[in-house]
Structure 1
Amino acid sequence: MSTNNSITFSRRAFLRSSSLAGGGMLIGFNLFQACKPKVIAEPAIDLSTLSFNDFNAFIKIAENGAVTIFSPNPEIGQGVKTSMPMIIAEELDVAWKDVYVEQGILDTKNYTRQVAGGSQSIRHGWDALRETGAKAKQMLVSAAATRWGVDPSECMVSEGVITNAAGETLGYGDVVKDAALLEVPEEVTLKEPKDYKIIGTNIANVDIDKITTGKPLFGLDYKVDGMVYAAVVRPPAFGQKLTSYDDTEARAMPGVLGVINIGEKVRAMLEEDPGFESKISSSDKIVVIAETTWQALNAKKAIKAEWENDLFMESTENHDQMLNGFLKGTQFETKRKDGDVKKAFAEADKVLERTYESPFLPHNCMEPMNFFANVTDEKIHLAGPIQTPAWKAGLVSKMLGRPEEDIHLEMTRMGGGFGRRLYGDFVLEAVEISDAIKKPVKMICTREDDVALGIYRPATKYRIKASIKDGKITGYHLKEAAINSNMYGLIPNFFPAGAIENYQVDVVNYKSNITTGAWRAPYTNFLAYAEQSFFDELAELMEVDKIQMRLDLLDKVNPDEDERIQYSPDRMKEVIKTAVEKSGWGTKPNHVYQGFVNYYCHNTHVAEVADVEIENGEPVVKKITCVVDCGIVVNPLGALNQIEGGVIDGVGHAMYGELQFDAGKPMAHNFDRYRLIRMKEAPIVETHFIKNEFSPTGLGEPTLPPAGGAIANALKAATGNRLYKQPFTKTPELLKVPSKEIIG
């Protein structure tokens, strides 16, 4: 497939200054749309000064030819701090060894999506990032051509060196002063993929040396002079409020500077504008202020607090009963309805109906929640790990009644997020604390705080029903009952939408005091398992080949006639056929049991095949073959990291992950009681990319959802038992291998 390589861009998408130290050129770019009018970059002397200027992201070219690229999006481990600059450097035509990368700050004047979420950073930034590099390159070439008295079309560029037809050369640093005086071009021609030198090559994470040597990068590393530390005592259960507390012992401990209450400002703000943070942020809390982290956490344990029940105290049993009741009820919201499913079921030769269950899940970020705040009359200085900096700046502005222009927000690298850091309750806490004590403060959480104060993946139940008439699937009805599903909901236009004439998707919401929200691969992380496991059982009932049934359904889809369809049937068929080939589907020895899944989410098509073997009488997931169509792969090394991590995360949580509640209180607070996959349990992940020239799509999330379905189908092949409830180890009797397999 060819790509359109001519893009028209507003001149306001670029900002430039010729007054850098040393006469370098500074070119700013808007990542997702043209910059707004009258946004002018201030001159800067060095990189540390640049980070405090009013801009989003810039290319800085020094006279020695070195290029510094400021990356505007939050780095959560998904690799955008490496891959985004790679895209710019490709079109700029510089050697990667000459590129330096710095993290940008929040700047809502220039950007509309400084977000780490939805696996969308590269997809949304692809064209603008290339445009940025190409326009800078053209200005540099024009400057060189003018000096030589030749037409720019006669010049060639390679790794930051411009050459004319006579063989004369100039480096970017040689002409950077002249280039800074030129008009920004309105239109440029972008490279063809066949000419890429950086995109498509393995590039190490730009922070890898700092990560491996323990240099400060993360929120917990952030420090300023005069900073104090805060540890927060929160309600032990959802639905409770503070009645009294005794802080006498805590105040007497070494290093403790004080004990205060917070909650009033957040509560007042959220009463006017309730949001995701409302239930978790609006209760009164006790805060210990100390000179060090250790002192704050120790003193926190000495607080004697009394709490009373304010709302209904929910348990896992309550949720289970309510979800079952909702599935039987009629209060559904229909997300999509094609044809008449009731008629299809009434006329069917056979009907298959199954219910699938999933539990709450915490996020388990390696780096617990933390944030820095320093609220003064002049400005509000914020720093830390957050996936949605602009959203949080807006909430802080409302809470304090201050203009957003007063807020300076620095983004640190994040030690995991998985959706938890989309929500900024911890940011609001840090701000309210600093505003109260009038000092710079770092709010810190423990692992126990993280698990207990979470915004969890909601417990969900799916009921799927399909009808068969004359050997064909004639109806398909999918129902979802979920905790707070008004925040969640189904994806009604993914496969098999468009493939079945009578098709309906319904959702119903059970409102809970327990806070729920996005968890890695929202909507699909459990739905993929439920649907794909159901397809396998449906094929068995129809006595047809499981792979061919999926391909036949895809043959019926015509996205040109139904613009609601979001996936490509042709791209989906290609990943299916490639997975069959690469996994050795149907050709493995008898002791290897395989399970197949295909899925689309986050704009990416994936197929996975799980290999399960029997060891000591138990089924063990040995290997996952993963085929991915994510368009052009910017950084294969980084892409493999995302794919493998997603698969293993999906396997681990499908097998082991579960968080239960008793009277509103989480029953696990650390990894001694919350089960994660262990290193010895992680399967080999073999990855294959579909090569094409489509623009890049998501990678951080799409390989997680299919993993649960692939191993469920493989476990069925190994044990003869279907699994309808996650985690799979919750029903160990269904994982027992028939005695003949144990003997064999």
Structure 2
Amino acid sequence: MKHTFSRRSFLKTSALASGGMLIGFNLFNSCKSDVEPPVDLSKLNYKDFNAYIKISPEGKVTIYSVNPEIGQGVKTSMPMIIAEELDVAWDDVYVVQAPLDTENYSGQVAGGSQSIRRSWQPLRETGATAKQMLINAAAAQWGVDANTCSAKAGVITNANGDTLGYGDVVEAAAALDVPEDVTLKNPKDFTIIGKGKGNVDIDKIITGKPLFGLDYKEEGMVYASVLRPPAFGQILESYDASKAKELPGVIDVITIGEKARTLLSEGKPNWSVKLSTTDKVVVIGKTTWDVIKGKKAITATWKTDSDLESTENHDEKLLDLLNGKKFRTRRKDGNVKKAFANADKVLERVYESTFLPHNTMEPMNFFANVTPEKVHLVGPTQTPEAAENAVASLLGRSVDDIHVDLTRMGGGFGRRLYNDYVMEAAEISDAIKKPVKMISTREDDMTTGVYRPASKYKIAASIKDGKLTGYYLKEACVNGNMYGLIPNFFPAGAIENYQVDSTRLNSNITVGAWRAPYTNFLASAEQCFFDELAEELGVDRVKLHMDLLENVKNNPDPKIEYSPERLQGVLKMVVEKSNWGKVADGVYQGLSVYYCHNTHVAEVADVMIENGVPVVKKVTCAIDCGIVVNPLGAMNQAKGGVLDGIGHAMYADFSFKDGVPSANNFNSYQLIRMAQTPKVDVHFIESDIAPTGLGEPTLPPVGAAVANAIYKAMGIRLTKFPYINNMNTESSIAG
């Protein structure tokens, strides 16, 4: 694999490599806490090769972690990519967190399962180029042709068997021109990529070492807790903070909100989440507990803002929209109307999902220190550049004044794409002229956050002479799905007459991306419908999918985003690995196959009935994500997605009444419990294709796999999340 580029283009490519790359923690600190490091990194004189790599005279390599780490494991897998092409021993690699740096990096974002996919090639070129520079320096020292030299595990060897370590030539290499021609490894020669590596930060995580935003402290820092409206659509009328101010540890009580309102009134960007139009009451104190107690002591009066969108009757209004005529057509093939008019039968179902909070393990928090010289921000955000821009606009400062340091995040799931909490911290610090840590409680996060939008899908299919002739999918979603429907995913291209439409219901509820956005429920709806459709047609479920995918192969469409061959591959694998159709009596299986976030996945759920209740016993998962960089990390991501998907499909229920959320903590909102987690078997398609993402793709299909298995066990078609809460309601059961 030859790649030729100039110094200028290399520098550009190097910057682009940050699109989801290395992450902030130190590989070196994966050692047990009582073991001294073999090298004191602070005493090494490193030589920069580019924005990502430093090499010391001792041959030790530091790789900068550019993108945010939200638990998806890129802090391990992304350094592996550079280390592979650099040909350095894995034990000699260290990773340090880079701050936000828009000059040297681009795309410092964590989201959409795009990190490895977008940075695969640039990262490889970064490592390979640095290696070639080291080889060139060694060849010059020996007076030989660089083409006669090779490198392995940080050692360069010439044709005579002479050797030099990377550290021996690092000074000379760093002064050389960037080579115009580098060779990337053949995947069959990988020695690091494809080998399971444990999470290098695991010891710090399990021993409670400071890694997360909540751990960050500075001298003179105070704490803040924000009292927000108890219901969406309300604004602050008055408040009494006298009792709060009497509490020991409470320093002051202030209000914020004016700066955010000014941004909105000026029509400036709202950074992807609707900014509150109300004042918020803020308690400033010496400790976290002080400000939480202080906030509870405040008496506030709120009133409904008549200018805001309605927060009521979402279910009823979504159904009205779904049955209405105002839609945006996302894709239209053939003539669905004609196909339906000529059909022998039309099968139609409505599928419904609820709002969902994100419930990250670490609640929202951020540190801010606003001074005349600069604005220093530290904490967990999936979009640090957006945070920088938002705070600059909020405070009327130059972006050059803003400095953002990243911490590890205790979960994101899309919530930390939005920087409302960062803006709050900055506005508080600006008001009190002190460094401050804004902290939220679990109740704050669950009741005043950003939510997966409630949505409903109406899916209809026409049947003529025992054949599928038309397919029509309509979506109605609160505030619109972030990306709309995915019109070029399966079954697009497989059915001659095909149409996808969408509409939205405006609401003051703040909604946004939630893990596997736009597909987290759509996959369940479509794959449940196809299971019922196969039964209606009297054809085998697997054969129906295989035949439809053959249609796509026989009629190529450049707009189709999925690969029919790769979907067939995971379908064949999951049928084999799950022992499909050959399980013991009392075990009922459901199938689902789906493409999203650039990855192809098929899943089979095994369900049994225990005491009249369906119990998921096992999920078999087949995945085609191209080359698997870190099999151990990939396995963990895949299993986590499956379990999260089961939990929310089966148990998670959330709604609003008069703008007030139905739950504020885990005593009234059920996540999946340990005892409810099934065995998950994960299998990867062997591939030499560039890798794609894994943080999200295993979640969407599993809801349908479970529902289809429950149908076989109990004879009911579930159409509404969450299944357990809705199994006995007529609106959630079809057939």
- Into which bin does the TM-score normalised by the smaller protein fall? over 0.9
- Match status 1:114 vs 2:100: no
Which of 583, 588, 591 does residue 586 from structure 2 map onto?
591
- Contact map agreement 1:258 1:288 (CA 8 A) in 2: yes
Q: How many angstroms apart in 1 are the aligned matches of 2:234 and 2:190?
A: 58
- Match status 1:629 vs 2:615: no
1:398 alignment partner, SS class: helix
* Mapping of residues 534-553 of structure 1, within 5 Å: 534-553=529-548
Which of 433, 439, 442 does residue 447 from structure 1 map onto?
442
- Contact map agreement 1:381 1:409 (CA 8 A) in 2: yes
Which of 590, 600, 607 does residue 605 from structure 1 map onto?
600
- Contact map agreement 1:77 1:415 (CA 8 A) in 2: yes
2:552 alignment partner, SS class: coil
Question: Hey, what does 1:98 align to over in structure 2?
Answer: 92
Amino acid at match of 1:499: A
Q: How many angstroms apart in 2 are the aligned matches of 1:704 and 1:373?
A: 35
Question: Hey, what does 2:333 align to over in structure 1?
Answer: 338
Which of 176, 181, 184 does residue 178 from structure 2 map onto?
184
Which of 174, 191, 196 does residue 197 from structure 1 map onto?
191
Shift of 1:503: 0.3
Amino acid at match of 2:95: V
Which range is displaced more, 292-301 or 115-124? Answer: 292-301
- Contact map agreement 1:356 1:462 (CA 8 A) in 2: yes
Which range is displaced more, 154-163 or 677-686? Answer: 154-163
Q: How many angstroms apart in 1 are the aligned matches of 2:433 and 2:11?
A: 37
Shift of 1:391: 1.1
Q: Cα deviations across residues 28-60 of structure 1 (Å, max 9, x unaligned)?
A: 754159xxxxxxxxxxxx98899xx99994211
- Contact map agreement 2:531 2:541 (CA 8 A) in 1: yes
Shift of 1:471: 1.6
- Contact map agreement 1:256 1:288 (CA 8 A) in 2: yes
- Match status 1:75 vs 2:75: no
- Contact map agreement 1:497 1:565 (CA 8 A) in 2: yes
Which range is displaced more, 270-279 or 250-259? Answer: 270-279
Amino acid at match of 2:333: D
Which range is displaced more, 373-382 or 610-619? Answer: 610-619
Q: How many angstroms apart in 2 are the aligned matches of 1:403 and 1:54?
A: 29
Shift of 1:281: 3.5
1:357 alignment partner, SS class: strand
Question: Hey, what does 2:26 align to over in structure 1?
Answer: none
Shift of 1:508: 0.6
Question: Hey, what does 1:62 align to over in structure 2?
Answer: 56
Q: Cα deviations across residues 304-362 of structure 1 (Å, max 9, x unaligned)?
A: 11111114898986001101100111000000001111100010111100000000000
- Contact map agreement 2:328 2:503 (CA 8 A) in 1: yes
Question: Hey, what does 2:17 align to over in structure 1?
Answer: 31
Q: Percent identity?
A: 65
Q: How many angstroms apart in 1 are the aligned matches of 2:248 and 2:149?
A: 69
Q: How many angstroms apart in 1 are the aligned matches of 2:720 and 2:290?
A: 43
Q: Cα deviations across residues 61-115 of structure 1 (Å, max 9, x unaligned)?
A: 1111111100101101011111111100000001111111111111112333111
Question: Hey, what does 1:136 align to over in structure 2?
Answer: 130
Shift of 1:249: 1.1
Shift of 1:267: 1.5
Q: How many angstroms apart in 1 are the aligned matches of 2:173 and 2:555?
A: 46
Shift of 1:274: 4.7
* Mapping of residues 30-49 of structure 1, within 5 Å: 30-31=16-17
Q: How many angstroms apart in 2 are the aligned matches of 1:317 and 1:263?
A: 25
Amino acid at match of 2:8: R
Q: How many angstroms apart in 1 are the aligned matches of 2:405 and 2:542?
A: 49
Question: Hey, what does 1:219 align to over in structure 2?
Answer: 213
Q: How many angstroms apart in 2 are the aligned matches of 1:160 and 1:292?
A: 48
Amino acid at match of 2:586: H
Q: Per the alignment, do residues 490 and 206 of structure 1 end up closer, same or farther by CA in structure 2, a change over 3 Å counting?
A: same
Amino acid at match of 1:72: V
Amino acid at match of 1:325: D
Q: How many angstroms apart in 2 are the aligned matches of 1:569 and 1:248?
A: 66
Q: How many angstroms apart in 2 are the aligned matches of 1:436 and 1:134?
A: 49
Shift of 1:275: 3.1
Amino acid at match of 1:635: N
2:644 alignment partner, SS class: helix
Question: Hey, what does 2:118 align to over in structure 1?
Answer: 124
Shift of 1:276: 5.5
TM-score (structure 2 length as normaliser): 0.93
Which of 557, 560, 568 does residue 563 from structure 2 map onto?
568
Shift of 1:155: 1.4
Q: Per the alignment, do residues 13 and 249 of structure 1 end up closer, same or farther by CA in structure 2, a change over 3 Å counting?
A: farther
Which of 3, 21, 34 does residue 7 from structure 1 map onto?
3
Which range is displaced more, 165-174 or 604-613? Answer: 165-174
Question: Hey, what does 1:230 align to over in structure 2?
Answer: 224
Question: Hey, what does 2:466 align to over in structure 1?
Answer: 471
* Mapping of residues 150-161 of structure 1, within 5 Å: 150-161=144-155
Shift of 1:152: 1.2
Q: How many angstroms apart in 2 are the aligned matches of 1:158 and 1:590?
A: 55
Shift of 1:416: 0.3
- Contact map agreement 1:314 1:663 (CA 8 A) in 2: no
Q: How many angstroms apart in 2 are the aligned matches of 1:48 and 1:531?
A: 55
Q: How many angstroms apart in 2 are the aligned matches of 1:560 and 1:348?
A: 23
Q: How many angstroms apart in 1 are the aligned matches of 2:63 and 2:649?
A: 40
Q: Per the alignment, do residues 734 and 49 of structure 1 end up closer, same or farther by CA in structure 2, a change over 3 Å counting?
A: farther
Amino acid at match of 2:169: V
Q: How many angstroms apart in 1 are the aligned matches of 2:448 and 2:673?
A: 24
- Match status 1:165 vs 2:151: no
Shift of 1:730: 2.0
Shift of 1:618: 2.2
Q: How many angstroms apart in 1 are the aligned matches of 2:673 and 2:103?
A: 45
- Match status 1:672 vs 2:658: no
Shift of 1:270: 2.7
Shift of 1:688: 0.4
1:456 alignment partner, SS class: coil
Q: How many angstroms apart in 1 are the aligned matches of 2:311 and 2:718?
A: 20
- Contact map agreement 1:28 1:59 (CA 8 A) in 2: no
1:479 alignment partner, SS class: strand
TM-score (structure 1 length as normaliser): 0.92
Q: Cα deviations across residues 394-422 of structure 1 (Å, max 9, x unaligned)?
A: 11111111111111101100000000000
- Contact map agreement 1:280 1:453 (CA 8 A) in 2: no
Question: Hey, what does 1:258 align to over in structure 2?
Answer: 252
Can you give the 5+ residue segments of structure 2 that lack an aligned partner in the other structure?
A: 20-39, 731-735
Amino acid at match of 1:346: A
- Match status 1:404 vs 2:399: yes
Which of 505, 512, 515 does residue 510 from structure 1 map onto?
505
Question: Hey, what does 1:42 align to over in structure 2?
Answer: none
- Contact map agreement 1:488 1:517 (CA 8 A) in 2: no
- Match status 1:662 vs 2:662: no
1:467 alignment partner, SS class: strand
Q: How many angstroms apart in 2 are the aligned matches of 1:54 and 1:278?
A: 39
2:718 alignment partner, SS class: coil
1:130 alignment partner, SS class: helix
- Match status 1:325 vs 2:320: yes
Question: Hey, what does 1:524 align to over in structure 2?
Answer: 519
- Match status 1:309 vs 2:304: yes
Shift of 1:734: 7.4
Amino acid at match of 1:9: F
Q: Cα deviations across residues 248-307 of structure 1 (Å, max 9, x unaligned)?
A: 111121121111110011111133225365544332101111111111111111111111
Q: How many angstroms apart in 2 are the aligned matches of 1:9 and 1:244?
A: 63
- Contact map agreement 1:267 1:278 (CA 8 A) in 2: no
Q: How many angstroms apart in 2 are the aligned matches of 1:356 and 1:713?
A: 14
Question: Hey, what does 1:738 align to over in structure 2?
Answer: none
Shift of 1:149: 1.2
- Contact map agreement 1:371 1:442 (CA 8 A) in 2: yes
2:459 alignment partner, SS class: strand
Q: How many angstroms apart in 2 are the aligned matches of 1:619 and 1:729?
A: 9
